[in-house]
Every structure is written in C-alpha cells, then in structure tokens.
Chain A
Amino acid sequence: GAVVSQHPSRVICKSGTSVKIECRSLDFQATTMFWYRQFPKQSLMLMATSNEGSKATYEQGVEKDKFLINHASLTLSTLTVTSAHPEDSSFYICSAPPRRADTSGGVTDTQYFGPGTRLTVL
C-alpha cells in the first residue's frame, strides 16, 4: 500500500527555536500534500495544503509566516515551525492523496497519513 513517512517522529525544542518536519511519499508521487495539527483528545485540524511547484495555501487562522511550507519535489514536503512557543506543542501529521484501485475494480480516493511528529516546545 501507499506509504507516507515523516521525520522526526518526536522533537523537543526550546522556545524561540525553529523546527523542520519532513513528509515523504515513499512509493508514489504527490503533487499535493496536506498538513494537519492535532491537540490532545481533539480531531485533526487542517493547517495548509502543500502544492508542488507553487505556494502553499493556508486555512483560515493559520499564520503562513509562522508555519513555512516548502514542497521541494513530488515526494517531499516540509513544514517549518518558526520561533516555536509552548502553545505550538502538538501532534503534526501530513497526508498525501494517491488515487488507488480497490479490490472490486473501482477507484478509491483516500489520503494516506504519515506516522506523525510530536512536537514539544519547552
């Protein structure tokens, strides 16, 4: 099946530093990747859409200058949390949407998620 990896899986940093998170599609190309954030016991909140070859599009309320996104290639998107603060501590998850055939011969659209990155800002 489609595999999406993220690195690092866990990071602890001091307040004021910047943290880069990588998202890679391992066996397919993804012109679009999505970045989500999840606080404890809450659902996934879409932050932004990463587009290969063009600027990312951000959801309302997400600061584009704080969360820098670069879609460097068809298999790699990076999210940089700049000047991180304790309130940025969260679980960051990326996803990529390949089109795949299901077992009945139809086409299933879904997103495959990376394993997530847990960011803790001290």
Chain B
Amino acid sequence: GQNIDQPTEMTATEGAIVQINCTYQTSGFNGLFWYQQHAGEAPTFLSYNVLDGLEEKGRFSSFLSRSKGYSYLLLKELQMKDSASYLCAVRDRNRDDKIIFGKGTRLHILP
C-alpha cells in the first residue's frame, strides 16, 4: 500500500516563510513531486526530488529524505497568489511508476 500524509490546512502571512511537510510510506519509491493547485484548476508542477537533499527553484524549495520517508516544500517571500492547495505525490515503481497523490494542504495567505 501507500500512505502519504500532509497537513490539511495551514495559514501564513504575506512576506513570510512557510514549510509544508509530507511523509510517505511506499515499497518502491521512485520520486516525489510537489504540485500547486488553485481552486477549480488543474495542478501545476513545482518540483521533483528523487535523491536526498534540497532542490531550490526561486522562492520555492523542496527537500527529500528517503531514509525518513519525508519531504517538505518551503515557500519564501509569500505572496497572496500563493494561496492554493499544495499536493505531495509519490511515484511507486511497484505500481508501474504511477504517481499517487496525498490529500493536499490548503494554504491560506493573510495580508
């Protein structure tokens, strides 16, 4: 089976930093993805980690620890437009490399 856990909701202030955590359990880990999804829209790709460590892309960074089954998405200099759901997803080589999504974290940005 596959379990992906992330907080349901988080709130942060414009200009601040927020970290969204994701833990997973999978038998054939083959990569972890973070997607952003605004209400009523399809997800957009943010980051991909397959090796341990930090990947930085502008205001967004993603970290992976395979031994701990743990990842986080770090958002800096928050903007109001960052209010969205953030989906952690894991690819499992024992499931034909399908990408399975967690339930998502709804992030609310306050002015």
Contacts and interface: CB of A to CB of B under 8 A. Distances in A.
B89 to A, nearest CB: 8
A54 interface: no
Chain B interface: which size bin?
20 to 34
Interface stretch (B13-21, B36-44, B64-72, B76-84): B36-44
A49 B101 contact: no
B41 to A, nearest CB: 7
A93 B42 contact: yes
Contacts of A110: 33, 45, 48
Chain A interface: which size bin?
20 to 34
Nearest to A1: B45
Nearest to A59: B98
Given A34-B99, A49-B96, A111-B99, A44 B44 contact: no
Contacts of B87: 43-44
B103 interface: yes
B43 A44 contact: yes
A97 to B, nearest CB: 8
B100 interface: yes
A44 B100 CA distance: 8
5 contacts: A34-B98, A46-B100, A46-B101, A97-B99, A109-B48
Given A43-B103, A111-B99, 15 more contacts: A43-B104, A44-B87, A45-B101, A49-B98, A57-B96, A93-B42, A95-B99, A97-B99, A108-B48, A109-B31, A109-B50, A110-B45, A111-B33, A114-B42, A116-B41
